[in-house]
Amino acid sequence: MDYKSYIAEKLSAFGVPTEEIVSAIAVPPEKNMGDYALPCFKFAKTMRKSPVMIANELCEQFVCDEVISKVEAVNGYLNFRVNREGLVKESLSKILAEGENYGRGNIGEGKTVCIDYSSINVAKPFHIGHLSTTVIGGALYRIFEFLGYNTVGINHLGDYGTQFGKLIYAYKNWGKKEDIEEGGIKELNRLYVRYHAESENNPAMDDEARRYFKLIEQGDEECNKLFNWFKDITLKEVDKIYTELDIKFDSYAGESFYNDKMQPVIDELTEKGILKESEGAKIVDLEEYNMPPCLILRSDGASLYATRDLAAALYRKATYDFDKCLYVVAYQQNLHFKQIFKVLELMGKDWAKDMVHVAYGMVSLLDENGNQVAMSTRHGTVVLLEDVLKKCHEKCLAVIESKNPDLEDKENIAKMVGTGAVIFGALSNSKIKDIAFSYEKILNFDGETGPYVQYTAARIKSVLRKGGEPSNYTVKDVNEDEYQLIAALSNFPEVVKSSAERLEPFFITRYAIEVASLFNKFYFNCKIIGEEQNTESFRLDICKATLTVITNSLKLLGIKVPERM
Ligand code: ARG
């Protein structure tokens, strides 16, 4: 039931426009003020009456029914109370009937969203800095899909640049095939770090590296074979993490994919008179827009990160005809995307307005003593995501060993909970905030964490195992705990929609916490099994519906629900 529309519809009979009412109605912060409130201040001007008068008059005219059970005018507000039995009955039957499809929508039907996320760099460690883009992008992918959009997940691989020439140099001089097969990305990165250390005293190495890179570009067989091998090793390794985090891509078209697609962009920029010469380089001047110029070609003719992103944008529009193209990339690249979007606009692409940089904050890691762990790719001191996940698995297993040592399948459950904790932790704040990750915080079973929500779900499963199938019941005398929980459950579809609109997976984590705590309150205050039959059955259905909503919420985030914990 869409209560806002229902109320608006009824009020429109008295001359207040429906849309204005829908947008003005809010859920009051104090429960005793009713379930919905309409502030009448907005209408004072058009209706030429004081808000208090408007509220009083509307209150007199409004006839309560089986949906809205009470209306009151208080200081220019119109407060409504919904018929709780009605809401409860309707919500429960809807949730239980729709099950895993509860919350699904069709607002995206016929629309395509491209999501560029994770976008890792070949031969570089997959570290904790990649966590946010990966899990935010993954969540947005699932959320949009749930709402009926055609979603295209793109891993815009960083697989172009002189660093690959350096890597070939290092491999040819110091590398061993077996070591790389054995050590994977770590070994490749070790070679890369060694290259940097040695080239400091030997600048001639850089000429060699550049030569190798040129060879890759020119299609040299040996160099391309090595390069593709490095790429395969990288992808195979990160794929394990992607599987664990439930991350999927529809395309791995990375930077090098655009090697032959940049010339048309340069031609078009030239034709439209946007490309300027500056100290031998080609640029798009953006001074008018208070931005430094966007560099398109270096003076040696080499293309840049931006050039490839322009080619990629045109390619994506031509290939997918997207309605929206999202880039889930850290806020450090704010300027880069502002420049790209502006250049597209200057090229006359009216779809430039559909490009969105989904910026997010920095992630740092705190050690057991609360000190920040230092990280630097150059020096090889990064915290690998793989290690963070492993540590969480171990810590969860230790908790299970101490609290519930007889639990069946504990290794798997520890994995599920540890991974869930990491994902949930990364999505626990508005995405733009910097986060300091601490194991203690994300694994706290009593905090606002993944394990807390998973534990609540496992608790419900245990109640349902004991309770069996509910029999028929009538809904009557719904108490406050039951009502608040069910009212929250009925909000799920709205929460999904607004998280898509605002590109905030955090709306879902916050909501999951709210549902879990309302459930726990209900669970402690209301006896379920052993109550008289009507109540027991009703409450078992509340449990089922709650489990459905928690499961669906966590699924959107890429988190599984264990059977037991
Ligand atoms: N590989 C880049 C990095 O690590 C991120 C790429 C983001 N996507 C894009 N289309 N620019 O910084």
- Per-residue DSSP letters for 90-136? HHHHHHHHHGGGTT---TTTT-EEEEE---PBTTS--BGGGHHHHHH
Question: Residues, the chain, total?
Answer: 565
Neighbours of 169 (CB within 10 A): 24
Residue 377 confidence class, pLDDT cut points 50, 70, 90: low
CB 310 within 8 A of CB 279: no
Q: What are phi and psi of 219, to 5 degrees?
A: 90, 15
Q: Output the ligand 1 site: residues, CB below 6 A.
A: 116, 119, 121, 156, 158, 309, 312, 327, 329
Distance, CA of 58 to CA of 462 (rounded, Å): 49
Q: Is residue 328 over pLDDT 80? A: yes
Residue 364 confidence class, pLDDT cut points 50, 70, 90: confident
What percentage of the chain exceeds 90 in pLDDT? Answer: 84
Q: Is residue 409 over pLDDT 90? A: yes
Residue 378 confidence class, pLDDT cut points 50, 70, 90: low
Identify the pLDDT of residue 379: 62
d(CA 506, ligand 1 centre) in Å: 22
Distance, CA of 509 to CA of 424 (rounded, Å): 7
What percentage of the chain exceeds 70 in pLDDT? Answer: 99
d(CA 137, ligand 1 centre) in Å: 13
Residue 279 confidence class, pLDDT cut points 50, 70, 90: very high
Does the global pTM surpass 0.85?
Answer: yes
Q: Is residue 459 over pLDDT 80? A: yes
Mean pLDDT of the chain: 94
Q: Name the residue of 118, 119, 234 whose CB sits within 8 Å of the most ligand 1 atoms, as the mutation to test its pocket.
A: 119
Q: What are the tens digits of pLDDT across the range 232-274?
A: 999 999 999 999 999 999 999 999 999 999 999 999 999 999 9
**3-class secondary structure per residue, 494-527:** HHHHHHHHCCCCHHHHHHHHHHHHHHHHHHHHCC
d(CA 204, ligand 1 centre) in Å: 29
Q: Name the residue of 136, 251, 329 whose CB sits within 8 Å of the most ligand 1 atoms, as the mutation to test its pocket.
A: 329
Atom of ligand 1 at shortest range from CA of 121: 1
Question: Which amino acid appears at position 49 of this protein?
Answer: K
Identify the pLDDT of residue 14: 81
Task: For residue 128, give the nearest of 429, 428, 373, 452 by alpha carbon.
Answer: 373
Looking only at Cα atoms, what is the longest distance across the chain?
88
Task: For residue 298, give the nearest of 281, 316, 317, 313 by alpha carbon.
Answer: 281
d(CA 326, ligand 1 centre) in Å: 12
**3-class secondary structure per residue, 61-93:** HCCCCCCEEEEEEECCEEEEEECHHHHHHHHHH
Q: Is residue 29 over pLDDT 90? A: no
Q: Is residue 498 over pLDDT 90? A: yes
Q: What are the tens digits of pLDDT across the range 120-154?
A: 999 998 999 899 999 999 999 999 999 999 999 99
Select the highest-mean-pLDDT range: 60-74, 364-378, 448-462. 448-462
CB 388 within 8 A of CB 365: yes
Stretch 352-380: mean pLDDT: 84
Q: Name the residue of 126, 134, 136, 156 whose CB sits within 8 Å of the most ligand 1 atoms, as the mutation to test its pocket.
A: 156
Identify the pLDDT of residue 97: 98
Query: In the structure, how many helices (H) and strands (E) does the chain have?
Result: 22, 12
